[in-house]
Amino acid sequence: MRRTDAQVNASLLAMELPIRATKRYIEPAYNEDGETEQEDEDIAKFVETAIFEDIDNSRDDLLRQILTMLAF
């Protein structure tokens, strides 16, 4: 039905598109003073690179695959 029914397709897109359009980033940890340390910034940069740039699929392809859970 998700491919043949226009209302179902529109409802699924209404749920998916805002999630796919957001900007994602990794924030470094903050200490009690509200400041970050260089090591925390390096870790955040490494994790952001590993998750968003070093994967085989594009971020949008990955999100589309994950969001198929809404239809099923």
Judge whether 1 lies within some domain.
no
Q: Report the percentage of the chain scoring pLDDT > 70.
A: 100
CB neighbour class for 17 (10 Å; exposed up to 12, middle 13-18, buried from 19): exposed
Domain range enclosing 48: 6-70
pLDDT in tens, 7-18: 999 999 999 999
How many domains, the chain?
1
Q: What is the pLDDT of residue 69?
A: 92
Beta strands in the chain (DSSP E): none
CA distance 33 to 36: 9
Judge whether 28 lies within some domain.
yes
CB atoms within 10 A of CB 41: 13
